[in-house]
Amino acid sequence: MTIGQTLLGLLEEAGPRHGYDLKRAFDERFGHDRPLHYGQVYSTMSRLLKNGLVEVDGVEPGDGPERKRYAITEAGVTDVASWLAQPERPEPYLQSTLYTKIVLALLTGRDAAGLLDVQRGEHLRLMRELTRRKTEGDLADQLICDHALFHLEADLRWLELTAARLGRLAAEVGA
Amino acid sequence: MTGPLLHAENLHKTYRSTPALEGAGLAISAGEIVAVMGPSGSGKSTLLQCMAGIVRPDSGTVTYDGRVLSELGDAERSRLRRADFGFVFQFGQLVPELTCVENVALPLRLAGRRRRDAEQAALPWLERLEIAGLAGKRPGEISGGEGQRVAVARALACSPRVVFADEPTGALDSLNGERVMELLTAAARQSRAAVVLVTHEARVAAYADREIVVRDGRTRDLESSR
Ligand SMILES: Nc1ncnc2c1ncn2[C@@H]1O[C@H](COP(=O)(O)OP(=O)(O)OP(=O)(O)O)[C@@H](O)[C@H]1O
Ligand SMILES: [Mg+2]
């Protein structure tokens, strides 16, 4: 899970912070699509605490987890460093839902070409939305949207190629 | 709600024995940007050329602003193309002997404006496309991406009501291609020009308001087929 490491990294950068400030920093930098829930922040912080990656730097009067101020530990710094050094596993989506749907459509005699067209339309609709966001946004928006756009484009190329090979696929799956 | 500005209906076109269009159609309103996608050889460029009055369809009609293109005389049709339409193609088609500003001013001069006046009007378009510094250079002295921006400036300089763009970013890398699309669509939106944008790149098509797909000479509108 990357929320933990992201919060750790923010904590390393900013120095001791309350959970609330970490959430704000996270949302501001990375939460474009999905801001964090408070619950997520506090459960993540207590896990990091249990694992010795953060420590409580101070507690304000009152009760509840939001009173705690956290500081990153040396183990926490090491954890962030090794997470950043570790490449992400490329996800080849070998068992894609779309592939399954297409084969099932062929096997059950449904309109697989139509399914591909509808999916294509859906992909492009999202791409248009991201493009709009990108042209109106700052550099951070552009980079985040571009990442999504390149992935959607790859999917779309696969949809096109599959549409062109539908006849052969039907023969091979025995539809 | 007014009708479409440009409307192609049931177009058929066969080159010798090669059918290129077999019942294609597209309606586009003022200010609308439509991406035309589809496999190579499916008829996208032929559709664009029919809609621009460059190629005459064997049957079917193209109506622009209430007038059927095939019913206009040749002179009237080229006058229309010059005054109301702008064109951007994959390779800029800039005149090599002219400087960038002269290239951009060319459609205005063809429309009857005087040289100085046309070049005065062309300059803001170069600025808009972020290439004002290239005004005095010739096409041979600039990069492909820069040339494409000059071509976009030229297409827009005569304030066309329809811009026809056939793979306008086809020769560019993705960063330059996107910049050209950003500038083209922003300028078109601002002047409420309609854009027919032929492309096989989804990320380019995503700058449009909607897309149609051409397959085997026929168009299909994914949005309305849902
Ligand atoms: N001037 C021409 N003479 C003869 N055949 C032509 C001519 N122009 C196009 N064709 C044929 O008409 C069909 C459609 O061509 P068109 O150029 O419209 O396709 P396209 O979708 O633009 O393809 P691409 O993506 O490769 O540019 C093709 O089979 C092509 O070979
Ligand atoms: Mg073409």
Probe site for chain A from B181, B222, B226 (most A CB atoms < 10 A): B222
Strand partners, B13: B21
Ordered by where they begin, the domains of chain B are 6-221 (3.40.50.300)
Q: Provide the ipTM.
A: 0.83
- B90's tokens: 């994959």
DSSP H or E segment with residue B68: strand B67-68
Residues of B with CB under 8 A from a CB of A: 39, 182, 186, 201-203, 205-209, 211, 213, 220, 222-223, 225-226
Q: At what angle do helices A166-173 and A97-107 cross, to 10 degrees?
A: 70
Residue B3 has pLDDT above 90, yes or no: no
Residue B195: per-residue pLDDT: 98
Q: What is the mean pLDDT of residues B58-82?
A: 93
Give strand pairing partners of B112: none
Q: pLDDT tens-digit profile of B16-54? A: 999 999 999 999 999 999 999 998 999 999 999 999 999
- Does the structure show a pLDDT above 90 at B91? no
Nearest to A131 among B39, B186, B206 (CB): B206
Chain B contact for A160, CB < 8 A? yes
pLDDT given at position A95:
60
Give residue B173's pLDDT band: very low, low, confident or very high (50, 70, 90).
confident
**Which run of H or E residues covers position A113?**
helix A112-136
Contact at 8 Å (CB) between B35 and B205? yes
Q: Locate tokens 């756009």: which residue? A: A149
- Residue B117: pLDDT band with limits 50, 70, 90: very high
- Asked whether residue A1 carries a pLDDT value surpassing 60, the answer given is no
Which of B197, B85, B183, B169 is CA-nearest to residue B131? B183
Indicate whether residue B46 lines ligand 1 (CB < 6 A): yes
Q: Which residues contact A92 (CB under 8 A, 6 or more apart)?
A: none
Q: For Cα atoms B106, B109, B111, give the angle at the middle one, nearest 5 degrees.
A: 110
Share of chain B above pLDDT 90, in %: 75
CA B37 / ligand 2 centre spacing (Å): 10
Residues 56-115 of A with CB under 8 A from B: none
Place of tokens 């059927």: B68
- What are the tens digits of pLDDT across the range B196-210? 999 999 999 999 999
Q: How many residues does chain A have?
A: 175
Look up the pTM and report it.
0.83
Q: Nearest-CA residue of chain B relative to A123? A: B202
**Chain B CA closest to residue A159:** B202
Higher pLDDT among residues A45 and A63, named by residue:
A45
**Does B199 sit in the ligand 1 pocket, CB within 6 Å?**
no
The whole-number pLDDT of residue A94 equals: 62
Dmax over CA atoms of chain A, in Å, equals 71
Average pLDDT of chain B?
91
**pLDDT at residue A11 tops 70:** yes
**pLDDT tens digits, residue range A55-113?**
998 887 766 656 889 999 999 999 998 888 887 777 666 667 788 888 888 888 888 99
The number of the ligand nearest the C-alpha atom of B43 reads 1
Cα–Cα distance for residue pair B184/B163, rounded to 1 Å:
10
Exposure of B218 by Cβ count < 10 A (0-12 exposed, 13-18 middle, 19+ buried)?
A: middle
Q: Exposed/middle/buried for A77, CB within 10 Å: 0-12, 13-18, 19+?
A: middle
Residue B6 C-alpha to ligand 2 middle, in angstroms? 20
Consecutive H or E run containing B134: none
Ligand 1 pocket member B185 (CB < 6 A): no
- The answer to whether the CB of B20 is under 6 A from ligand 1 is yes
Nearest to A124 among B182, B202, B225 (CB): B202
pLDDT at B223: 52
Q: To test the ligand 1 pocket, which listed residue (B13, B22, B46, B200) has its Cβ within 8 A of the most ligand atoms?
A: B46
Of A124, A128, A135, the CB nearest to B182: A135
For B193, the token pair is 């020009």
Taking the CA atoms of chain A, what radius of gyration do you get in angstroms?
23
B42 CB near ligand 1 (under 6 Å): yes
Question: How far apart (Å, rounded) are the C-alpha atoms in residues A43 and A49?
Answer: 10
- Nearest ligand to the C-alpha of residue B47? 1
A68-72 sheet: strands from edge to edge: A17-18, A68-72, A54-59
CA distance A41 to A48: 10
Residue type, B92: G
Alpha-carbon span B94 to B100, nearest angstrom: 8
